[in-house]
Copies of this chain bind each other. A is one copy, B any other.
């Protein structure tokens, strides 16, 4: 099949847990997966159509009273495809941080401007941490309800661990940049 499009597997993965509509898939991606994956409606619906054509998912129209609603479920064939992919080695882990780009070229922007970027970054991270902590706690409390919860928990912990490292780096970096500023005075 040589499928290089990861979104197909993201959707298959989400459907392996429960049937969902395209709209709900978007919500899951924006909620739980947002830390390490993203997708827009403009790619989700076409992917879903492709997946159905390949019999990896099937759809049932659950529209009620005029409101269009299509719920997708994973098929046996789809589950096999997902498992096959999960066994394959990871191809790419990518980190694209514009903040780091602006930091790297910081000498063209000065300590002040760079400091601002760090502070905005810190703010974003600080804002996310409570959600991750809540997620970890919640998952720990329902660990045995579903085997999947253990894996969700490991992922959430990775997020927390990473964000905490970012935060301590921010603190360090801010101090260094501030002392650089003072030298300049």
Pairwise interchain contact B100-A97, C-beta atoms closer than 8 A: no
**A99 → chain B closest CB, angstroms:** 5
| Oligomer: number of copies | 2
A36 close to chain B: CB less than 8 A? yes
A77 within 8 A of B: no
Most B C-beta atoms less than 10 A away, residue of A96, A157, A168, A176? A96
In the complex, residue of chain B having the shortest beta-carbon distance to the beta carbon of A170: B158
On whether the beta carbons of A176 and B161 are closer than 8 Å, the reply is: no
17 further A-B contacts with Cβ under 8 Å, apart from A6-B101, A13-B104, A13-B108, are A9-B105, A13-B105, A35-B95, A86-B108, A87-B113, A92-B96, A92-B98, A93-B96, A93-B97, A103-B151, A104-B151, A106-B151, A158-B169, A158-B173, A161-B169, A162-B165, A165-B165
Task: Identify the stretch in A47-55, A64-72, A114-122 within 8 Å (CB) of chain B at 4 or more residues.
Answer: A114-122
Interface core residue of A100, A104, A157 (most chain B CB under 10 Å): A104
Asked if A109 and B87 sit within 8 Å, CB to CB, the answer is yes
A50–B108 Cα gap in the complex (Å)? 22
Chain B residue at minimal CB-CB distance from A177: B154
When chains A and B are docked, how far (Å) is the Cα of A155 from the Cα of B16?
39
Task: Return the chain B residue nearest A125 by Cβ.
Answer: B93
Chain B CB within 10 A, most for which of A37, A98, A106? A98
Instruction: Check: A26 CB closer than 8 A to any chain B CB.
Output: no
Which chain B positions have C-beta within 8 A of A82? 105, 108
- A37-B101, A105-B86 in contact; A161/B151 too (CB < 8 A)? no
- Bound Cα distance from A33 to B169, whole angstroms: 18
Complex: A114 Cα to B155 Cα, angstroms: 12
Which chain B residues border A180 with CB–CB below 8 Å? Answer: 150
